Structure 1
Amino acid sequence: MADVVGLCNSALSKIGAARITALSESSKNANLCNELYETCRDDLLRAHTWNFAAARVKLAQAGVGPAFGFDHRYALPADWIRTVDAYQDESGYGVIKYKIEGGFILTDSDDVYLRYIKRVEDVNLMPADFREALATLLARELAVPIAQSNTLEEKLEGRFRTRLRRARTTDGLEDTADQMPESSWTAARRGSSDCWGR
């Protein structure tokens, strides 16, 4: 089974650094991994609408609404990383107008059904290609403070971009694309085309 220490050791091996046994051990490598891991993980989760990190929830109104601009405010989930969509009903249609401010969604909608990317802490829930991209991102961040190498950092940047593209492509193949709502222009064209018998 994968774990955070194993992922950090994968990153350390990419820069030729000594392995660690725990994030809490008193070594420079462990301290830096402990400092950078969560930031890198959350940054990578924000970079794409990952299927494994997607979640849906109906939000509850959070007391008094904002002072102006919107009627209601709703607290974001504790594991929220970024919003994908917000709807006014559970059918997934009726995208609402909203703003995200200070841990809340502000909107005029009486209900909010949120689709979002959540923080995934269990490494075993991450697909293998995401874990590899994450290890490469972490290695890039560790290249200068541990290996003292800007050249290695640049090399790892290229490798990270390749790993990220692969992970995104694989993730995108695991479901059907979201269907865009039909525009009023398209609906009007379709209606007029039917009238002309086309």
Structure 2
Amino acid sequence: MADVTGLCNSALSKIGAARITALSEGSKNANLCAELYERCRDDLLRAHSWNFATARAKLAKKSDEPVFGYAAAFALPADWVRSIGAYNNEAGLGFLDFKIEGGMLLSDAEDVYLRYVRRVEDVNLMPPDFREALAGLLARELAVPVAQSNTLEEKLEGRFRTRLRRARTTDGLEDRADPLPLGAWAAVR
């Protein structure tokens, strides 16, 4: 069973640093892992529409309307990291014109159904290749403050990019592509 400490230890081992027993142990390595882990996780989640992190929600309309530009504002889910698409129906057909501003989704629609990337906090819900890419990103971020090596950071950047490509490819193979909306010519038929 994977956990955050294990993932951090994987990152620390990539830079030849001492392992930790917990993020709260008070050591330099534990403090840096505690500081960097959530930022790296969320950064990696934003980088792709990961299948394991994709969620759907009907958004709640807020009582305060935007001053101009859009008719309505909707509250984003608490675990929202990035939007994938917004729709005005449960079927998820046809994209809405929307904008994310100030922690809200703005749109002219009455109802908004959102596909989004959610924050996944349980490491066990992350696929192994995503965890490995996350450990690589964390190792890269730890290279200078822990190992004090810019050269190591550059090497780890290349390894991280390779792991990220592999994780994205595997993720992309696990579902079929969304159909493209009909173009103007096909719609008039």
TM-score range with shorter-chain normalisation? over 0.9
Aligned match of 2:37: 37
Q: Secondary structure at the match of 2:109?
A: coil
Aligned match of 1:106: 106
Q: Runs of 4 or more off by more than 3 Å in structure 1?
A: none
Q: Which has the higher Rg, Structure 1 or Structure 2?
A: 1
**1:64 Cα shift?**
1.9
Aligned match of 1:123: 123
Q: Secondary structure at the match of 1:166?
A: helix
Aligned match of 2:97: 97
Aligned residues: 189
User: Is the aligned partner of 1:70 residue 2:70?
Assistant: yes
CA distance in 2, matches of 1:156, 1:132: 12
- Which AA in structure 1 matches 2:21? T
With normalisation by structure 1, the TM-score equals: 0.94
Please tell me the root mean square deviation across aligned C-alpha atoms, in Å: 0.9
User: Is the aligned partner of 1:165 residue 2:165?
Assistant: yes
- Which AA in structure 1 matches 2:63? G
CA distance in 2, matches of 1:20, 1:33: 9
Q: Secondary structure at the match of 1:95?
A: coil
Map 1:144-163 onto structure 2 (within 5 A). Answer: 144-163=144-163
Q: Secondary structure at the match of 2:130?
A: helix
CA distance in 1, matches of 2:178, 2:99: 22
Verify the 8 A CA contact 2:94 2:181 in the aligned structure 1.
no
Q: Which runs of 5+ in 2 are unaligned?
A: none
Q: Say if 1:13 and 1:83 are closer, same or farther in 2 by CA, change over 3 A.
A: same
Q: Percent identity?
A: 74
Q: Secondary structure at the match of 1:86?
A: strand
**1:186 Cα shift?**
4.2
Verify the 8 A CA contact 2:20 2:30 in the aligned structure 1.
yes
Q: Which runs of 5+ in 1 are unaligned?
A: 192-198
CA distance in 1, matches of 2:34, 2:187: 54
Q: Secondary structure at the match of 1:63?
A: coil
Q: Secondary structure at the match of 2:185?
A: helix
Deviations 1:95-141 (A, max 9, x none): 11111111100111000000000000000000000000000000000
CA distance in 1, matches of 2:20, 2:139: 14
**1:94 Cα shift?**
2.2
With normalisation by structure 2, the TM-score equals: 0.98
**1:187 Cα shift?**
4.8
